Amino acid sequence: MNSKQWTIDDIGPKNLKISEARVEEARGNNLLIRTEAVSLNSRDRLVLERGMGSLLKFPFVPGSDMAGLVEAVGEAVTRFKPGDRVISTFAPDRIEGHGIGSARNPPLRTRGGVYPGVLSEYVTLPESWFVRAPATLDAGEASTLPASGLTACFALVENGKLKAGDIVVVQGTGGVALFALQIAKAHGATVIVTSGSPEKSERVMRLGADHFIDREGWVESVYQLTGDYGADHILELTGGANVGEALRAVAVGGHISVIGMFGGETISGPILPLLLKTPVIYGVSVGHRRALEDLVKAVDRMKLKPVIDSRYRFEALPDALERLGQGPFGKVVIEI
């Protein structure tokens, strides 16, 4: 049996094409999974455009986050059976704790990068690379959890120890941002959303945001809304010089989770707020499998619904990537 898949033979979205590959049988600890949905991340576009530091093996299959149905299992599989619904893990080797890497060579072993991606009708991979999908979500919704959902949860809950009454600043209205908004509200936090698109304010408020402020001058707006207290948690999704703005806006002893790099690959900011307010600054690169399993349980318990901007057919991947670059409200999903 053959499987259709999207591949590139060289860096560049213009090189995308649909090809076919032989489907491997499920042997040993491997699962044969029929892919039902793939959620796209901004990182997927960056990998296609410039590789993102990963040594891609061509032909390369892009995409890192998927939901699917187990079709067959190898003789050594213990965690799943045929018919189970599963979602992928972003960093397959990271079961718990930090990623595998060193000071010289930081952890890069992720799906859709060092490891081939998931934009394929079928995948045959180790069972340790998957967790059970939430019972309360369809495949498209479930596919948004491995990177975007887990990044927001890891930043706020796993690292940040979010608690009721905390003030959370979320930047933007993409997948991670809207997950962070919903997770923070579920924990009883006050949420301030910044955006350069005022037309999105009504939709953000319907999701539970307490305040919607313009991206320009957002630090002063945070001061005014909090009586100069600042924010206990800031999800820094822009990067670059905006990290310096986050240092100005963070509360004394607060948390800044640096996630995005749209503002550049070099961060900058004033040292005095760092020294005097002693904030904790985390670099968040998604999270580990155990935290994803915790998130799945929380999603079912809280009845959390991921925000999906648009859904596309498998053949319409170029259109989906174009939409991804337009600043969608939530996630862009490919359904197979």
**Each residue's pLDDT expressed in tens, for the chain with a length of 336 residues:** 899 999 999 998 899 999 999 999 999 999 999 999 999 999 999 899 888 766 788 999 999 999 999 999 999 999 999 999 999 999 998 999 888 888 988 887 888 888 889 999 999 999 999 999 999 999 999 999 999 999 999 999 999 999 999 999 999 999 999 999 999 999 999 999 999 999 999 999 999 999 999 999 999 999 999 999 999 999 999 888 999 999 999 999 999 999 987 777 788 999 999 999 999 999 998 999 999 999 999 999 999 999 999 999 999 999 999 999 999 999 999 999
123: in domain: yes
249: in domain: yes
37: in domain: yes
pTM of the model: 0.94
My answer on whether 259 and 329 are in the same domain is: no
My answer on whether 67 and 154 are in the same domain is: no
15: in domain: yes
Range of the structural domain that residue 62 is part of: 2-144+306-335
My answer on whether 45 and 158 are in the same domain is: no
294: in domain: no
My answer on whether 21 and 55 are in the same domain is: yes
CA distances in angstroms from 173 to 12, 304, 327, 331, listed in the order given: 26, 17, 8, 10
Which among 60, 232, 72, 90 is positioned nearest to 159, based on CA atoms?
232
51: in domain: yes
My answer on whether 105 and 168 are in the same domain is: no
My answer on whether 128 and 7 are in the same domain is: yes
Q: Which CATH number do you get for residue 259?
A: 3.40.50.720
Task: Provide the sign of the torsion angle of the four alpha carbons 66, 70, 71, 73, taken in this order.
Answer: positive
6: in domain: yes
How many structural domains does the chain have?
2
My answer on whether 128 and 205 are in the same domain is: no
Q: For residue 163, what pLDDT is reported?
A: 97
40: in domain: yes
My answer on whether 317 and 242 are in the same domain is: no
My answer on whether 62 and 166 are in the same domain is: no
My answer on whether 171 and 262 are in the same domain is: yes
My answer on whether 168 and 222 are in the same domain is: yes
My answer on whether 229 and 311 are in the same domain is: no
